[in-house]
A and B are shown apart, each in its own frame.
Chain A
Amino acid sequence: MINLLIEPLQFEFMQRSLIVAILVGLICAVVGSYLLVQRLALLGDAISHSVLPGLAIAYWAGINLFVGAFLSGMLGTTIIAWIRTKSPIKEDAAMGIVLSTFFAAGVTLITLIQKDNKIDLNHFLFGNILGVTWGDVRDTAIIAIIVTLVVRLLYKELLFYTFDPEGAQVAGLPVNALNFGLMSLISLTVVASLKAVGVVLVLALLITPGATAYLLVNRLNQVMALGAGIGILSSISGMYLSYWVNLPSGPAIALVASGFFTLAFLFSPQYGLLTQRRSALR
């Protein structure tokens, strides 16, 4: 049994991907908690699909992939906000339009450059643990430090803003800047997660661990901390599963996270389907 855990560690690629998995599990849950409480889960999906064209262009132009993906993700968010404010189209429809457009553009671009380069579209879509380099580990670590530091330093402002945006605006908080900061954090987190889970399933790490924790605890900081624990556990388990069963790492991680959610959904002391006290449901 112990061997199952130790054996993969003799490979350097597995060490690298495990480090990335831990960092990504952590920051996805923390940042995803904000999406969860603002009921913006779909925005996480929209941003993650929006990074694809930037990824392709950066690859083709030889720029750092993280930079290209980040700019592309921010462009996607900006266009969503633009459509929503300048037309009667609602936010969810705007997200759907932007998500599919950027995703289609990304797939097209990658297919075009695939002919001349040895890259695999599937790796971008579903993650590729074999492809994690030490450079990726470094970049992921830098992003993880930035994200956790910003959330820690702006915690009280972001709590106020995400709970009661109008109250926060009246009290004089710069709500547009806070919103932009939050979107940047989400884009950064998505970018850092691409190698581990891929574009299509980042949402699993952004939303599911936080949602699991939400069923178990009652304060945002607790949702983040417990969610991070569940996220880390999910991504480590997913990596091992991916190694032993030869699955792409993204689906493996997503399925483990869903497993934890199912447990909380059924057995949470407060809200569990099988365990709830009647009084807890209002």
Chain B
Amino acid sequence: MFMPSLQSSPARAFQPARIATHSTEAIAPIRVSHLDVFYRDLHALEDISVAVKPGKLTGIVGPNGAGKSTLMKAMLGLIPAAQGEVSWGRESLLAQRERLAYLPQRAQIDWRYPATAWDVVMMGRVRKSGWLRKFSSTSKHAAKAALKRVGMEEFAYRPIGQLSGGQQQRIFLARALAQEADVLFLDEPLTGVDKKTEAVLFDILHELADEGKVVLAVHHDLGPTIKNFDEVILLNREVISSGVRDEVLQSEFMQRAYGGWVGAAA
């Protein structure tokens, strides 16, 4: 069920029915409790407890080395946690992987890989298709709709290496849309991205949040783009503060996260 035309405010009216097709209950918040992560001897994350709410656009913010990406990767099971758990509804988050989508940092991808934009978007349909099966026409439709939604339908057959950074990021977003996931994690999605992509990206993330999904992004920049987030998790190896954006970004918390002078500038 993929209907790009049903977005923004009218979509809210359909929300309960739409969610009911996925599961019997509304989408629950993701709860991180007492999470500890070590890199060898370094205590990278200490006793992290935080909730990421559905229906909101949540940003993880903090200085370099604060463990922003580490927190995201630990939640996704890409880095082992020494302690703690991440639950979503009645089960652990990782028991529900087919409902998760992840946009890695751009630097982690080899953009000279021999694949077209279409190939990448179709990766979002691999899990839904199942083993030993070809992609169904439903999958192809979902991929086409996703490409259209990010404004990249003309570039479907372009090798990914020949796209700009912003276009590459939109292709990855289309992959997540094609996956029809209920949880979307993005690691620094604005790195190397043009203004147009930035606008498309936040439009779509807001739409997804409005549909009741959980959207979490590691965000590097304390400039005007921070205004796009509803909620913020302010991190510096531990959670300094979390909740509604403007409450979290007060100078007292910012000073604790960044040290005095950076906090004042923000």
Contacts and interface: CB of A to CB of B under 8 A. Distances in A.
A167 B123 contact: yes
A163 B159 contact: no
A170 B100 contact: yes
A159 B98 contact: no
A23 to B, nearest CB: 24
Interface stretch (A184-192, A216-224, A231-239): A216-224
Contacts of B129: 156
Contacts of B104: 164, 166-167
A223 B113 CA distance: 11
B159 A218 contact: yes
B135 interface: yes
A153 B131 CA distance: 8
B interface, over-half SS: mixed
Interface string B64-84: 000000000100111000000
Interface centre among A153, A156, A170, A220 (most CB of B within 10 A): A170
A247 B100 CA distance: 56
Contacts of A169: 76-78
A37 B76 CA distance: 25
A86 interface: no
A170 B114 CA distance: 22
A17 to B, nearest CB: 32
Contact of B179 (A153, A159, A163, A171): A171
Nearest to B108: A166
Interface in A147-189: 153-154, 156-157, 159-160, 162-164, 166-173
B102 interface: yes
Contacts of A219: 114-116, 119, 159
A282 interface: yes
B76 A170 contact: yes
Nearest to A157: B126
Contacts of B15: none
A280 B179 CA distance: 31
Nearest to B109: A164
B162 interface: yes
B115 A163 contact: yes
A172 B97 contact: yes
A126 interface: no
Given A164-B109, A166-B76, A172-B98, 13 more contacts: A37-B110, A154-B131, A163-B109, A163-B115, A164-B108, A166-B102, A169-B76, A171-B101, A171-B124, A218-B159, A220-B113, A222-B114, A282-B162
18 contacts: A156-B129, A157-B131, A159-B119, A159-B123, A160-B123, A160-B126, A164-B123, A166-B73, A170-B78, A170-B97, A173-B126, A173-B127, A219-B115, A219-B159, A220-B115, A220-B119, A223-B114, A282-B162
